[in-house]
């Protein structure tokens, strides 16, 4: 189900915490990195690995928006829409992303390159408005910057 490298990371994680269950989130993030999202088989696999029930894993997953239950685009854009970003123009950022990609929040472009979601505070309020793409921060955004960022990813693809 997973590569040897991922399996050895799982083994390591399960051994370093006083309670095996503490390895849950790191394991899910590693699994997601390999498959692009957390498959339902992964939930069962990780639950068994850590002596948890699948429903426990499932309920914990529901709390973390960084864990994806469905496939996302190669470039997954998370647009902060919380207070500081909203006051500094996150609406325009979101509209720009939707216009450039032709998708609504939660959807994937037809070519599989992009997906975008709204996000509650990315923790960089002093540099609002902010978005993350595959975990990398893009700060002090305006529409022009967002267009350049998306165009840059398109050229790389």
CB 4 within 8 A of CB 19: no
C-alpha span between 1 and 42 (Å, rounded): 8
Question: By CB under 6 A, is residue 32 in contact with ligand FES?
Answer: no
# residues near ligand FES by CB under 6 A: 12
Q: Which two tokens stand for residue 67?
A: 């864990």
As measured in angstroms, the least distance from the Cβ of 39 to ligand FES is: 30
148 Cα distance to chain centroid: 21
Question: Binding pattern to ligand FES, positions 61-100, x when CB under 6 A?
Answer: -------------------x-xxxx---------------
Q: Quick one: which segment of 19-27, 71-79, 98-106, 121-129 binds ligand FES (CB under 6 A)? A: 121-129
Contacting residue, 13, 31, 128, 150, with ligand FES by CB under 6 A: 128
> Considering beta carbons, is residue 28 or 93 the nearer one to ligand FES?
93
8-state DSSP, 113: S
Q: Which residues of 70-83 are buried (b: 16+ CB within 10 A; e: fewer)?
A: eebbbbbbbbbbbe
Q: Which two tokens stand for residue 35?
A: 């498959």
Residues in contact with ligand FES by CB under 6 A are 80, 82-85, 121-125, 128, 130
């Amino acid at each position: 189900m997973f590569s040897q490298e991922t399996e050895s990371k799982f083994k390591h994680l399960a051994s370093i915490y006083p309670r095996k269950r503490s390895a849950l989130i790191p394991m899910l993030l590693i699994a997601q990195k390999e498959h692009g999202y957390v498959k339902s088989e992964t939930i069962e696999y990780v639950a068994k690995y850590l002596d948890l029930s699948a429903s426990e894993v499932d309920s914990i997953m529901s709390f973390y928006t960084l864990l994806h239950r469905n496939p996302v685009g190669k470039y997954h854009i998370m647009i902060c829409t919380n207070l500081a970003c909203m006051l500094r123009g996150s609406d325009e950022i979101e509209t720009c992303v939707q216009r450039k990609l032709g998708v609504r929040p939660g959807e994937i472009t037809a070519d599989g390159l992009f997906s975008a979601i709204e996000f509650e505070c990315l923790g960089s309020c002093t540099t609002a408005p902010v978005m993350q793409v595959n975990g990398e921060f893009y700060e002090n955004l305006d529409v022009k910057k967002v267009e350049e960022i998306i165009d840059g990813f398109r050229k790389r693809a």
